[in-house]
Each structure stands twice: as structure tokens, then as C-alpha cells.
Amino acid sequence: MNITRALGMSAIGIAAITMAGCDDSDHDGGDGSSNASNSNAATSLVSEMTTADKIAMLHGTTDPEGLAGAGYLPGVPRLGIPELRLTDGPLGVRTSEPATAMPAPIGLASTFDPQLAADYGQVIGSEGKAHGQDVLLAPMTNIVRTPLAGRNFETLGEDPYLASRLVSSDVQGIQQQGLMATVKHYVANNQEQDRQSVNVNVSQRALREIYLPAFKAAVDADVASIMCAYNRINGEYNCEHAATLNTILRDEWGYEGFVVSDWFATHSTEASIQAGLDLEMPNGTYYGEPLADAVANGTVDESLLDRSVERILRQMSRFNMLDGDQDDDAEIDTEAHAEVAREAAVAGSVLLRNENNTLPWQADDIGTVAVIGPTAERLLFGGGGSSAVEPLETVSPLEALRNALGDDADIRYAPGISLDGEPVPASALRAGDSEDSNGLQAMSEGGTQRIDSTIDFVGDNALAAGSNWTWTGQLVAPEAGDYRLLIQTEGGSGTVTLDGEQVARTGGLFSNRLLESADGLTVASYEVSFEAGSAHTLEITGEAGASMGVNSGDPDTELQIRFAWVSPEIRQQAFSEAEELAGQADHVVVFGFNEGTEGQDRDTLDLPLFQNELLDAVTAAADNPVVVLNTDGPISMPWLDQTSAVLETWYPGQEGGRAIADMLLGNATPGGRLPVTFPTSLDNSPTASERNYPGVDGQVHYDEDTLVGYRWYDYYDVQPLFAFGSGLTYGEVEYTNAQLSTTDGGYSVQVTVRNSGDHTAVAVPQVYIGSASGTPVVMAPKQLAGFAHVSLEPGESQDLDIPLTDQVLRYWSEDEGGWVPDSGEHEVYLGQSVSQVNSVGQLTVD
């Protein structure tokens, strides 16, 4: 059941949605005011502005009130131009206040449900307004190109048509609430490694067919702003790329909003403003004084300032910011928003395997349940980096299962993986040269010196506010093996330097682990192998009040700091407990996770922290083991054959715990289908060579061209672990009466879906169109052209009519510099994934 329909739109104060392409072209969203009146308002204001006023409108600065989540413009009070506050996105509103933490967009993409994307956008849009923000830095619609990219969880998957449909609804949902949306990161920003500088060598055809369509869809949905990306494409930085910013975006697509740089992604003054970058963020390195100088000395014409300022003011007018008529008291119904979050978590969870209908568990016959894995106990609700949201509330899956089952089951928990480890004992630390000088030499900034046997200053033992400590000595490994060193802090930051190299630090935007310690400390860690008895120089530092991520530190806070480790012995003990528990229980569910983050790609498909070993041992020990995954994207599953069920829940948002319990117990049906292909190995994926990813000498080559994601597996006939579009359901869905029809100007596929099972089912029929034969360029064998998402009660059937896009019936010709029809006969397939399809007919393109 769709939540806006379930609750009634008015219950959460959400205005009705205007669907893409259906709005009056003279109206420009936001408030329904017309393009013409917004333009007039903007032009007349510009005529009253001094050059200095204009320059101040074109670059960010610090928010004097500290309210802006990410960026701030002061406005021009003299002319009634208010301040503008920008915040992240895309998993919820990121300010210093908590907000509804929504499931990661990769989960939203898994729903194949544009209506849900609109609801999702509305939640974030209304909360952004309520938190005093004007611009949301979302949605993010870069195509998943490599399974390793750190921000895959923020994206809408690997298919341009799926991403286009969802981004369009998401933008409209956000903007209906009076908040400007910012689609990002324009364009071909598909990896974190070297993201600030890497040069993407990509063909025009791949840009047009794969990387640009979702941005075009956002423009068609009237998105207020677009963020240009860090990387370069074909030699030029995105934020000074005239061909994409001026020619494609403005001249071809008719975009009227403004272009904002990604944070610190501007590299020039003249070239950028000429190419069409309107707003530099977060400061005025290029658009502050240098821009003023360039205007003064004539290298930048003042008309370019007018152009950019007008673009920003036009949107401010459109969103009622210039008439003092903004509804700043937008009320939010957090319960209704939590419902949308929970609905999206369920609808976006993908049931990858379900042998003998292992799931859902039969509630009347639960017995003992073994719950294993750290993310069962600590909800991994979102990924890392600028999208991280402080959730309003979280309930872990373990707690949710306990709440749901009460006394009906005996639920036992074993982490299986020690996340927090134990304080490194004095016996492994040496303060001096002598073998019995256990501990570390401590020195405070104020000159106090002492020996500390362990570094465990937590709770009542916290160190004084304002203090700054350094501990030095040696770490001596008691046994050979793999160790994990952890620095855990609160109220400041801490570092670990081993053998002269800083290996862990809390406080960096991307260096913290996503999961806090059990006692709520921020964690950074480092994995290392030691020889038995080997000694390593060690330095630990702790600085009270030091900056933690985006928030500046509080000088009045005490410093809690712990230096801990997971030794081979500690790891083994956690393993054995879990294995033993798994062997005794009637039901076993084991959670696997990785901590995906902006700023860092993964270097492997394998789950980290020896989880594959744990999953292997536990699934071998248990009867009917169920695996629940919290990952940012594709992973390897060497233990797959030993499992009875696998449920991929991505990062499921703040309601993820309840959603997971509901799905295990059959109170909800997972509705997702994979929006990304899961490869069997990196070698069997489209970006296997270093040249293709992460690139060599700063150059990455998109040699796979348009064969991105499933297009590549299909073309080369490579078997993936799980194909794009795949996912199972509870219940039993039958597809009958499928047929292809012509409509007024297009095509559609009709099909009857019926649930013949005894449990609620979710069907996601997908239509793929094959290429014509003899096309003179490489064509993907099949491309997604239509889909539906429908929930069916037992016995229910529905007749569906799935309209098809004609986007896949043409290709971009490099020779002609334009779209060319893919003439000839095309096979049309109805599928339950890209690899499970049946022909429903043919269509012919002249």
C-alpha cells in the first residue's frame, strides 16, 4: 500500500503530485508562478544590484547563524533578497538537527516505483523546509559503472531509463514541498578514487545514451539546480565544461535553473563563468575577489554576472523567496514520514534467494532464533560522507524482532564479529626499552608526564576539556596473525601512528567507521598483520574539542578515548560463539555488511572483517540459514550455496530494523529488484582492467562505452551472480495474456499478473527491447524500456498496461552528431529480470 494513498495526502500536508511532463509549461513549479513573472522579477532586481552585490550572490560563504547544512549565500537585504541555505541530501536532510533517515537511494531504485520516489522526495522536501533550508543537494543520479564505487548507495542504479523515471519523481516530490532540488553530479562522476581530478575519457555516444539521460529527465521535471562534478571529462573539468554546461544543458535542453559547483570543484574564474557555472561553493576562491578583478579588468563581461545572478534569482522567485510569502512554518508529521521510510525499506529490499520458501518464517512455530552479526544489533541505516543524516529514531533488527515476537520465541544474539575489540592490554604495550615497562608513556600539552597502562579514558575516566595528550611507546604482538587496531573517541579526535605512519584518525569526514562503538564512541580502525613477538613503534594522540567531521568541536567537552584491538584470539572467540549458537537454533539469521562511503571506493567485492569466513562457518553450521545484507552495492557471496535465503536490504534507513523484522516474519513482502548487476568476480565485470577502473596516470577510459551494467553481461554473454532486475517475492506470481500494442505515438505491453500463492506478493514486470539487426554500431542486446511495480494479495489479479520509452529505439551517431533511428525489427520481451525474459512480439522502426 502506498503511504500517501494509505494516509491520505492531507494527513501529512503533502500537495498532490504533478507527474513528469504533465504540468503547464508556462508554470514552473514551486508556487505555480509563471516563468515570465519569475524572469521579470529576477531581471528587475539585477538592474538594481551593484557589481559587488552580484559577486556576493555567486559564491558561498559561512552562515553567520550556522543553520545551513552545507552552503550559504547572504542575499542582499537592501533589495529584499533573502539568504539562501543549501543542504545535503539525498538520504534525508542533513543539518545539525535530526531528520527522518530514509533508505539509501539504491534501495529506492530497487523499488522500480516512481510513485514511491515521489513520496520519498516529499518527505525530504518538507523536512528540508521545516529545517530552514532552501536548496536540497539531491537527488544524485550518477550511473553505477563499477561495483566498487563508494557512492553507489547514493545512486539510482545502472540503467538510465530506471534512473530517469525515479529522479524525475524524486525531484517533483522535493520541489512540491517548496524546496529547490539539485540533481548531481553532472556528469560521469562514477568513482571516488581520484575523484577531484580524474579525467574520464568517454565517447559522446556513451554520454548521450548512458550518463546524461537521468540529468535530462531532471531538467524535464523542472529541477531548480544542477551540481557540476569534481572530475574532468575528455580533458576539461566538469565545472568549466562549455559543451556540457552551455551547449547540452542550456541550448539543447532549455535548462533555466542554475548550476552550482560541487564543494571545491571550481578551478577557474573566466573559463567557469563563461562555460556556465553560476555559483561557486562553498566559498569564493574563484568567484570572490578574482571574479571582481576579472570584471574590473574586462576579462569577464558584467553581462555574464547578470546571467548567472538572474538564473539564481529566477529560482528564488519561483520558490516564493522574493515576495516574503514563504511558508516557513511547514509542519512535519514525523510518524507519517517514518511510515514512508519503512515502506521504502520494504519495497526496496531484494529477496535474492529463498529455497523452499524458507522466508517468511511461520510465526506460530518460531522456537529459538539465533541472530548473528553486528548490524543486527546496530542498525546500519545509511552510508558515509555528505549524505549521512542524524536519524530521528532507530530500532535495530534485533530489538524489532524481540518486540515483534515477545515471549513466542527465544532470541539469542551473537555478534560473530567483534567490532569494538578490547582495550589493548598493558602486556602488549611497552613504555620504554625494558621488557617489563608495560604501558605507554603519556604526555599532556601542559607538560604532565606519566605511564598509562592502557588507553581507556571513557565515562567517568574521561580526560579534561581542552586537554591534548600524546602516548608513545611500542606495541608488541603476542601472536602472529591479523589484527584490527581501533581508536575510539568522543568529544575530540584521536590518531594512531604505527611504525611512523598515521594509520587511523577519528574526526575526518571520510575516515570514521559508520558504526559507532557500543558505548557510542566514534571509531577509526586499521587492519594489519603482525609476526609473533614483533615490536612496532606506536604513537596515540587525543585532542579534546577537535573538529569532528563537519561540526566544529566544542571546547567545553571532555575527551573520551580508547585504544583497542581485535586480536586473532578475540576474533576467534567471537566466531566460535556465533558458530555454536547457529548450530543450536531452530532459526538462524546472520547479517553481513560493508560500510560504504563517499570519498573512498572499495578494493574488493568481498565483505570486510572476515565476514565471508563467518558467513561460511555459520551457514554451514545452521539448518536453513537466512542471510540479511546491508551493503552499498554488489558483493561476492562465496557462501551462497549454503544459505536457504538471502535478503539484500542495502542501507535501509531509520525504519530498517522494523522493516527487516516485518519481512522475516511475513508481515511485509520484500518488493525490490536489483538495479545493479552483481558480478561473480571483478574479473567478470565491465571495468576489470586498471585502464578502465580506476584509471592509469589520472586517465580513466570508459572502453565499455554504452555497454554499462547488464548491457555488458548480455552482450558478452557473461553470467553474473545476480542479474539486473532479479529478485523474488513471497506468494506466487503468474504472468498471462502478455501482448504488445501500439498506442497513440508509441508502444505498450499489456499483461495480467495474478498472485496464486497464499502470501502477499510484489510483481515487478519489466519490458526490454532488443536491438535491430545490422545496426552499424555496437548495440546492447536488450535495454529496459518499461516496468511496473504492483502488490498483489493472495488470489488477486491485475491487468497492467506498461508504456514503453522510445529512447532505446535510436542511438547516438558520432558521425552525424545526433540521434539516429535504430531501423529494423526489434524483439520486445517481458521479463522478471534481464536474464529471465519471454518475447511478447516485435516492433519495427522505419
Nearer residue to ligand BGC within complex by CB, 58 or 346: 58
What distances in angstroms separate CA 4 from CA 15, 60, 341, 480, one per listed residue?
10, 36, 12, 57
Rounded to a whole number of angstroms, the minimum distance from the CB of residue 262 to ligand BGC is 5
Residue given cell 494509505 in the structure block = 6
Q: Cell digits for 147?
A: 561495483
Rounded to a whole number of angstroms, the minimum distance from the CB of residue 788 to ligand BGC is 31
Rounded to a whole number of angstroms, the minimum distance from the CB of residue 237 to ligand BGC is 14
Q: Is 603 among the residues known to form the active site?
A: no
Q: Which of 112, 263, 563, 710 binds ligand BGC (CB under 6 A)?
A: 263
Question: Is 600 one of the binding residues for ligand BGC (CB under 6 A)?
Answer: no
Nearer residue to ligand BGC within complex by CB, 139 or 657: 139
Size of the site for ligand BGC (CB under 6 A): 7
Nearer residue to ligand BGC within complex by CB, 182 or 375: 182
Question: Is 88 one of the binding residues for ligand BGC (CB under 6 A)?
Answer: yes
Q: Is the Cβ–Cβ distance between 749 and 807 less than 8 Å?
A: no
Query: Distance (Å, rounded) from C-alpha 567 to C-alpha 571?
Result: 6
Residue 10 CB neighbour total at 10 angstroms: 10
Angle subtended at Cα 364 by Cα 361 and Cα 369, rounded to the nearest 5 degrees = 55
Rounded to a whole number of angstroms, the minimum distance from the CB of residue 94 to ligand BGC is 8
Contacting ligand BGC within 775-804 (CB under 6 A)? none
Contacting ligand BGC within 168-197 (CB under 6 A)? 184
Strand order in the sheet with 836-845: 782-787, 766-770, 824-833, 836-845
Nearer residue to ligand BGC within complex by CB, 222 or 262: 262
Closest by Cα among 595, 126, 96 to 379: 595
Closest by Cα among 658, 649, 604 to 631: 649
Which residue of the set 53, 170, 262, 662 is catalytic? 262
Contacting ligand BGC within 760-779 (CB under 6 A)? none
Question: Is 262 one of the binding residues for ligand BGC (CB under 6 A)?
Answer: yes
Closest by Cα among 241, 240, 175, 187 to 215: 187
* 543 strand-pairing partners: 468, 493
Q: Hey, which bits of 159-279 come out as E strands? A: 180-186, 199-201, 225-228, 232-233, 236-237, 258-261
Binding mask 38-77 for ligand BGC (x = CB under 6 A): --------------------------------x-------
Nearer residue to ligand BGC within complex by CB, 124 or 305: 124
- Phi and psi dihedrals of 630, rounded to 5? -120, 90
Q: Is the Cβ–Cβ distance between 808 and 783 less than 8 Å?
A: yes
Rounded to a whole number of angstroms, the minimum distance from the CB of residue 230 to ligand BGC is 7
Q: Is the Cβ–Cβ distance between 545 and 491 less than 8 Å?
A: yes
Question: Is 137 one of the binding residues for ligand BGC (CB under 6 A)?
Answer: yes
Contacting ligand BGC within 383-422 (CB under 6 A)? 386
Nearer residue to ligand BGC within complex by CB, 263 or 286: 263
Tell whether the torsion through CA atoms of 318, 319, 321 and 327 is positive or negative: positive
Nearer residue to ligand BGC within complex by CB, 229 or 566: 229
Nearer residue to ligand BGC within complex by CB, 135 or 316: 135
Rounded to a whole number of angstroms, the minimum distance from the CB of residue 281 to ligand BGC is 7
Nearer residue to ligand BGC within complex by CB, 94 or 587: 94
Query: Distance (Å, rounded) from C-alpha 379 to C-alpha 655?
Result: 9
Rounded to a whole number of angstroms, the minimum distance from the CB of residue 386 to ligand BGC is 4
What distances in angstroms separate CA 820 from CA 210, 431, 775, 814, one per listed residue?
16, 73, 10, 10
Rounded to a whole number of angstroms, the minimum distance from the CB of residue 138 to ligand BGC is 8
Q: Is the Cβ–Cβ distance between 154 and 383 less than 8 Å?
A: yes
- Phi and psi dihedrals of 13, rounded to 5? 60, 30
Question: Is 231 one of the binding residues for ligand BGC (CB under 6 A)?
Answer: no
Query: Distance (Å, rounded) from C-alpha 385 to C-alpha 514?
Result: 9
Q: Is the Cβ–Cβ distance between 502 and 496 less than 8 Å?
A: yes
- Phi and psi dihedrals of 124, rounded to 5? -70, -40
**Residue 728 half-sphere exposure, CB side, CA atoms within 13 Å?**
20
Tell me, rounded to whole angstroms, the distance of Cα 632 from its chain centroid: 7
Count the helix, strand and coil residues of the chain and give each as a percent rounded to the nearest 5. Answer: 30, 30, 45
Rounded to a whole number of angstroms, the minimum distance from the CB of residue 231 to ligand BGC is 11
Residues catalogued as catalytic? 262
Give the residues lining the site for ligand BGC (CB under 6 A).
Answer: 70, 88, 137, 184, 262-263, 386
